[in-house]
Structures are given as C-alpha cells and as structure tokens.
Amino acid sequence: MKTYLSYLVLFTALPSLSMAQELAASPSPAPVATPSAELITEPKAEAPSGDALIFDSGQDLARSAANLEPPLPAGDGGEALPAGGESAPLRSPDSLTATPMGSAVVGLINKLAEKGIIPPEEAKAMVAQAQAEAEAQLAQAHADIFTIAQIAATQVIAEQEVAKAAAHGPLDASREEMRVNYIPAPVRMELKDDIKRELASEGIGGSGEYKLPPNWPAWVSKVKPSGEIRIRYESDIYPTNNDSTGAFPNFNAINTGAPFDVTGNEFAPQWNTDQNRTRFRLLARLGLGIDLGENFTAGMRMATGQNNSPVSGNQSMGLPYQGQGGNFSAYAIWLDRAWLRFDLGGGEDQGVMTFWAGRFDNPFFSTPLIFDDDLGFDGTAVRLAYNYRNVIMPSVIAGAFPVFNTDLNFSSNQPEKYPSYDKYLFAVQGGVEANLTRNWNAQVAAAYYYFYNVEGKLSTPYTPLTQSDAGDTDNSRPSFAQKGNTYMPLRQIIPDYSNDFGAINQWQYFGLATPFQNLALTGRLNYDGFQPIRVSLVGEFVRNLAFDKNQIDQYAVNNRADIVASDTDLDTAEYGPFDGSADAWLIDLVIGHAELDRRWAWQTTFGYRWIGSDAVVDGFNDSEFGLGGTNMKGFTVGGRLALSPNVYLALRWFGSESIAGPPFDMNIFQIDLGAKF
C-alpha cells in the first residue's frame, strides 16, 4: 500500500509550493489561495510530461522534502532577510493586486479617494497597510507549505525506521519515539479521505469486509476457513490394586469383530488395568464455512483420528492401527462435519430460529458428562429463541438423530433377510439465559434424551453352525462403545449335538442391558465483577429414567458386586448381585479469562464428577476422564495459558476410580500445545 503521505505531498505540498514560488518570482497577476484553502482543495499540478507527479518510494518523498528551503524571516517593510544579511523584497510591489480580492480592495480605496470621501494621504496609507497584510499572508502560506512537507518527510523516515526494526528485532526506546506528534486539522481531513480511497482501491470496504480484487470469483469472499492443531503428551498411570484377573472385558472389541466363544476356553479381549503407558497424540482439523446467502450457510471439516471414534480426533503418534501409523507412516483423515444451516431473526426483542441438517456440533446446552465436546450430531435440529431486552433469552431445541442404520443386506449370508433394527436419538431441551445484573449471568436448561432401540434384545432361539451365522438381533449391539455400561448376551443359542450341548461353539455378541431415557438438568452461573477475570460455576445432573435394576440383574454380565461367602444364597452363585446405578452428576469451578484471546490470558478448572454405570450411554460421553465411559468417579484439575491470541499451553490431571464391580482406578496427566485459527 502506498503511504498516505505520498498522496499528501503529491496533492498538496509540492504543487502549492511551486505555485507560491512562481508568484514570488513573477510580477504578473496569478491567483493565490489561503493556506487553509490550499490544504483542503486538491491542486492541479502536472509533471513536465503532462502526467501527475508521482513518487515511487518513500525515499523520493524524503529527498524532495529535504530539498525544500524554509521561508526567510520577514523584515521591515514587507522584506525578507537573506542569508547574507542584506534586505531583498519578498514579493513584487504589485503583490497586493496578485489576487482578485486585493485588486478589489485597491479599486475601492481609489474610488473613495476620487470622490473625496477619504483624503489622498489616508488612502495611500490604507493601500500600504493592505500591501503589508498581503505580504504577510503570502509569507505564512509559504511557511505552512514548507512545514507540511517537512512533516511528510519526517513521517516517511520514521515509518522506514520502524519497518527496518520490525525486520531485525524489537523496537528500542529511541525508535519508538520517532513519530509525529501533531498534524494540522486540514491535513488530517485530507489524510482521512486519502486513506479511505486507498483502502477502497485495495479491496477493504468501509464495513471492514474484504473485497476481492478484480476478476476473482465472488464465492471466494464467502468462504471462511478455520482449523486447529494440537500436540499432546499423555501419561496413563494405573495403581497396583487394580483387578487384573480378566474382570474387564473389552465389549467394543468383541462387538466390532467376530463373535466371542464364551465357553471359557480363552479370555475375551481385556482392558489394560495394570501397565502404565505414555504416548504422544496429534489432533488436526481443517474446516470451511460458506455463506450461501439468503440466511443459509454450509460447512464441512476434516479431522484426524486413529479410528472413527465419535468422541475423539486424537491420533496416537507411531501407533500402527488399521494399516496406518508406525514407522512414520501417514495417518488417516476423516469427514468430521458436513452441514447446512438456516438462521432467521435476531437482535433485541426479536425471535430467532436456527435449523441444522447434516453432521454438526452439539446444539444442546450440556457438559461432557453426557456428550463429549468432540461429538458430532448426525440428523436435524431446530432452535427457537427470543431475546427480551437483552435481559432474558428463553429457548427450546428439538432434534432427531440417527444413531445406527441397519445394513441393506443384513444378514449377508442368509437368503432371507432380517428386519431392520435402526437406532435414533430424539431430544428436546428448554432453557433460559438471563443477565441478572451487570456482573451476573445465569443459564439453566432441562432436557429429555430418548435413545430409541439402543438397548440389546435377545434373539430368536437358534443354533449357529459357524461364527458367521448371525442372530436376528445382532444389530442391537452398539457399533461403538467405551466402557462402563452394563452388558447382556444377545444370542439365545440352542444346545444340541453340534455344539456338544452347550460346551462349545457358543459364539456371542453383547448389547446394552438397559434402555436409556435421560433427564438432564444443566446450569451455569457467571460472575464478571473481577474483570477481566470471570468466575463460572457449571453443573449437570442426569438420571436414566428407563433404568430397572431388578430387570438388569437377570442378564448383566458385568458391574456386579463381589460374592459374599457368608451369604448362603450366593455360595454357589457364579456372579454377585448387580451393583450398577442410573445417576450421574458433575460440578466444575472455572476461574480465569472468559476467552484466551490475548497473550498471557489464562483459565483454571477444578471439578468433581460421579457417573453411574448406566446413567448415560458410554459411547457418547467424555473420552478423557478415566479414558472414557461410565462407572467412574473422581476429580479433574486443569489450567490453560495463552502464548498468543491463537496458541495455548494446557495441563490437566484426571483422577478416577470405579464405582461398581472390581477396582479399576487410574490417573491421567496431559500436556497440550495447541493452536486455533
């Protein structure tokens, strides 16, 4: 961008100075403008070639301004004192008539003298006085023009010094003082207009929006990129008292692979409970938002992930998994978001309607107790809200989200196909946000989440002859899970001679032992009286209204209490009584800057959570606390520090222990270096 000072000298200082110098050297009449008029009105000056005089660089401007000589101080009788000390006329004797106003004054005085209204001597004195004032005005014009040119040259030199310092290192104190402290008001007005014209020519509109250069496609200006990169060091530490006898089956590994033979000849896949691990993890996301016009927007986002987990985009570095990673191999990229959105209304005392369709961020007011922060929602949702005087903002949100869709050819090895077993989440939430006072803000909401068909169902009795012989309810098993929920066997296998009457070939899948109908109460209270520090208290309570402990006890294969030897009813039992629960709650205290939008902004978090085994679906809640899932309780402590408006450093500790069943405790330490843009 050409500096605005180049325009200043081009359109004001140099042409006006040239005009003043010509007037000083020639007695012929020529129009002379006052200093203010010269500064405000754009002069017309031409280079010898007929083109406007343009400086190619700040150096040219500085050289030209340096070649200007200041006006000489005025002496007696309208004369200037040259360097040698001798008097010389500053202007010709006819300087008074060099302007139309001057000629009119002389003519008026002559007429008055001719008519005898004023004596000739007095008329001569008046003409002499007017002559002196004209000389003074011309001298002041010359001085003003020279001063402006010198200011321009000084500003250019200062800008060049600042640019050099920025290229080589921080400014020192002496360079920081190189600035112009005052510019006359007419010059400021001219500069303001020039800056506006320059910004318009470079594509920046008055509204601050970027306007594309000519010949660029218009849709480019409607695309807004965003992204995130995070590198994490993580240490997972297991206490020595954890049960390591095979009491923690990895049901997700079973349900996403071949069915498991439960006859007892080998262990099922197990969760690690006793070996500490450290790992480096990478998260990368790149998204695009697109303004489609007429209140429509669209977007999509790609992200890393060592698998297609819905609750984490982390990729463990060096982990060989599904043909990727290890030995510096490349990692997979997944489609993480793809959505359309329509917004209508907004502003004070207005209603707001937002509609989403596709795969989008969580539209509900919730915490990681029930939905992980990275979880994407597939389906449609609509939000209706009203802003009452920026004080109270009630809202209601409803949505329908497909969780699982049955394969078109299920079962693949059967000529007669099984009925579909689709799963959905239907949800509605009502809430209100209120600005209670200047410093207090509160938000509360109540939600009902109905997970349709997510629970497991017993199959029609049959006898599988191979691992590939599916049961008609195999699709009722979850396609993704973490850990903690209670499970039940899905296949009712008929014992006969082909399976040695139940002694072999008991290939089994497992489904959730309870339906899920969650009532969730969520709240947040903010206090901003310590600006810029905010204090927030966040809480959530969730209960599974469909939980029936007695019914689950009939089928549950995990989350059971230890067998009590003194209880004669349990002496011969293979399992203890079911010990799961349906409630979960969380409370977090957050202290720090509301946003990490400046260097050294910070936040700290202290929290406690209690998550019953069957309070929420373990496949959707927080993947960090206890490495994800339910049936855990414990503390969280964390802190974040902004190293720049876009880069942050974070430290977190999660301490968790199991609630029901054998002991399974762990500590997790994380150090993050991340950037968002």
pLDDT of residue 567: 52
- Tokens (6 digits) for 15: 């042409």
**Does residue 258 lie in a domain region?**
yes
Q: Determine how β-strand 376-387 pairs with β-strand 350-361.
A: antiparallel
Pair (471, 522) in one structural domain: yes
How many structural domains are present in the chain? 2
Name the least confident of 137-151, 373-387, 389-403, 620-634: 137-151
pLDDT of residue 418: 87
**Does residue 217 lie in a domain region?**
no
pLDDT of residue 4: 39
* Mean pLDDT, residues 472-499: 94
pLDDT tens digits for range 302-331: 999 988 899 999 999 998 877 778 889 999
**Does residue 208 lie in a domain region?**
no
Pair (442, 346) in one structural domain: yes
Query: Which string of DSSP letters, residue by residue, matches 226-269?
Result: EEEEEEEEEEEE--TTS--SS--B-HHHHHTSSPEETTSSSPPP
Q: State how far the Cα of 251 lies from the Cα of 631, in Å rounded to an integer.
A: 15
* Mean pLDDT, residues 83-94: 43
Q: State how far the Cα of 131 lies from the Cα of 140, in Å rounded to an integer.
A: 14
**Does residue 211 lie in a domain region?**
no
Judge whether 407 and 342 are in contact, CB under 8 Å: no
The whole-chain average pLDDT of the chain stands at 81
Q: What is the CATH number of the domain that holds 230?
A: 2.40.160
Judge whether 339 and 301 are in contact, CB under 8 Å: no
- Tokens (6 digits) for 5: 């000072």
Fill in the amino acid letter for 528.
D
Pair (187, 259) in one structural domain: no
Q: Which domain holds residue 110?
A: 4-202
H or E element at residue 611: strand 602-611
**Does residue 215 lie in a domain region?**
no
Pair (336, 481) in one structural domain: yes
pLDDT of residue 651: 98
Q: State how far the Cα of 368 lies from the Cα of 355, in Å rounded to an integer.
A: 23
**Does residue 372 lie in a domain region?**
yes
pLDDT tens digits for range 105-126: 677 777 777 777 778 877 787 7
Nearest residue to 231 (alpha-carbon basis) of 267, 280, 186: 280
Nearest residue to 532 (alpha-carbon basis) of 437, 605, 596: 596
* Mean pLDDT, residues 595-604: 95
CA 368 vs CA 400, 538, 566, 618, 620: distances in Å? 20, 11, 41, 11, 9
Pair (573, 624) in one structural domain: yes
Exposure b/e, 216-247, CB count within 10 A at least 16 = b: eeeeeeeeeeeebbbebebebebeeebebeeb
Pair (278, 174) in one structural domain: no
Pair (495, 394) in one structural domain: yes
Q: State how far the Cα of 624 lies from the Cα of 7, in Å rounded to an integer.
A: 59
Residue 544 has pLDDT above 90, yes or no: yes
pLDDT of residue 47: 41
Q: 236 - beta bridge partners?
A: 277, 668
Query: Which string of DSSP letters, residue by residue, matches 367-433?
Result: -TTTS-TT-EEEEEEEEEEEEBTTTEEEEEEEEEEEEE---TT-STT-SSPPPP--EEEEEEEEEEE
Judge whether 478 and 256 are in contact, CB under 8 Å: no
Q: State how far the Cα of 461 lies from the Cα of 383, in Å rounded to an integer.
A: 45
* Mean pLDDT, residues 545-574: 77
pLDDT of residue 584: 98
Higher pLDDT, 590 or 19: 590
Judge whether 55 and 11 are in contact, CB under 8 Å: no
Judge whether 374 and 303 are in contact, CB under 8 Å: no
Pair (633, 532) in one structural domain: yes
Band of the pLDDT at 574, cuts 50, 70, 90?
A: low
**Does residue 207 lie in a domain region?**
no
- Tokens (6 digits) for 603: 């936040």
pLDDT of residue 423: 97
**Does residue 478 lie in a domain region?**
yes
- Tokens (6 digits) for 136: 């003074």
Pair (193, 232) in one structural domain: no
pLDDT of residue 102: 62
* Mean pLDDT, residues 162-184: 47
Query: Which string of DSSP letters, residue by residue, matches 311-377?
Result: T---EETT--BTTB-STT-----EEEEEEEEEEEE-STTEEEEEEEEEEEE--S---TTTS-TT-EE
pLDDT of residue 647: 97
pLDDT tens digits for range 403-426: 999 988 888 777 888 888 899 999
Among 202, 236, 259, the domain-final residue is 202
pLDDT tens digits for range 266-299: 889 999 999 999 999 999 999 999 999 999 999 9
pLDDT tens digits for range 464-476: 998 889 999 999 9
Pair (140, 190) in one structural domain: yes
Judge whether 604 and 591 are in contact, CB under 8 Å: yes
Among 202, 236, 269, the domain-final residue is 202
Among 202, 233, 261, the domain-final residue is 202
pTM recorded for the entire structure: 0.70
Query: Which string of DSSP letters, residue by residue, matches 491-526?
Result: --BPP-GGGTTTTS--EE-EEESS-EEEEEEEEEEE
| End-to-end Cα separation, the chain, in angstroms | 26
**Hey, is 588 helix, strand or coil?**
strand
Residues contacting 67, CB < 8 A, separation 6+:
none
Pair (586, 472) in one structural domain: yes
pLDDT tens digits for range 124-160: 877 777 777 777 777 666 666 666 666 666 666 656 6
Judge whether 483 and 451 are in contact, CB under 8 Å: no
Name the least confident of 262-276, 367-381, 587-601: 262-276
pLDDT above 90 covers a percentage of the chain that reads: 56
Pair (295, 173) in one structural domain: no
Ramachandran assignment for 322, one of left (phi > 0), alpha (psi -120 to 50 degrees), beta (any other): left
Residues contacting 127, CB < 8 A, separation 6+:
96, 106, 109
Q: Identify how many contiguous H helices and E strands the chain contains and give both numbers.
A: 10, 23
